[in-house]
């Protein structure tokens, strides 16, 4: 499905786009706190249960477009939600490239880099935060050409930066927006102003 055809889905014409940000279900590394960038890990058992509950939550909703990261944990969450057939795979929605810190926890990194934070400090061999911000800015520009609601399946840090940039704020503001696995967040509008309407909603996950 192309972005141009996505903008004319039934019942969505003439509406400013609202972005439903959906973080993928749990993986072994997200459970352990290891930085998971471009390593292509699958959902674990808990993640698959989360995705099934997420599917039930999303079932009544109708989307003019669906975008997803190409990484399997996001794709499988999108597939479990029943939206894979209409999804557009967007390389700009890949998670932050953590370079030398891939697979390491913050505590492990701080053993040699005291006080290190992904939101403020360098990532050797990986992306700078402004690189990720440039990617999500392109995603936002594509969504603004769609009329109606958009589902975006992605990753914790990347989606947090996307939310900050939707609000036209510094990407580091994403550090203030905790985002758990398999949650739903919504970015929308107050008149012409882009706003945050819902964040880190996990009501559908009560049984996990």
Q: Which residues are catalytic?
A: 24, 95
In this structure, what token pair is assigned to residue 62?
């109708």
> Which residue in 25, 68, 31, 74 sits closest to 50, CA to CA?
25
Give the whole-angstrom CA distance, residue 137 versus residue 131: 10
187 Cβ contact list (under 8 Å, min separation 6): 18, 19, 21, 163, 166, 167, 194, 195, 196, 197
């Amino acid at each position: 499905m192309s972005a141009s055809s996505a903008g004319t889905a039934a019942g969505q014409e003439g509406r400013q786009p609202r972005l439903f940000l959906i973080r993928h279900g749990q993986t072994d590394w997200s459970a352990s706190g290891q930085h998971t960038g471009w390593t292509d890990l699958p959902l674990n058992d808990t993640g698959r249960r989360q995705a099934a509950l997420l599917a039930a939550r999303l079932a009544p909703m109708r989307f003019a477009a669906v975008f997803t990261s190409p990484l399997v944990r996001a794709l499988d969450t999108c597939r479990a939600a029943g939206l894979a057939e209409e999804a557009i795979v967007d390389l700009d929605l890949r998670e932050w490239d953590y370079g030398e810190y891939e697979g390491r926890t913050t505590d492990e990194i701080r053993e040699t880099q005291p006080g290190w934070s992904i939101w403020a400090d360098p990532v050797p061999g990986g992306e700078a935060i402004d690189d990720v911000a440039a990617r999500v800015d392109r995603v936002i520009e594509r969504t603004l050409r769609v009329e109606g609601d958009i589902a975006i399946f992605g990753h914790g840090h990347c989606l947090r930066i996307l939310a900050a940039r939707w609000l036209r704020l510094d990407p580091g503001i994403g550090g203030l927006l905790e985002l758990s696995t398999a949650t739903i967040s919504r970015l929308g509008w107050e008149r012409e102003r882009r706003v945050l309407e819902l964040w880190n909603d996990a009501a559908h996950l009560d049984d996990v």
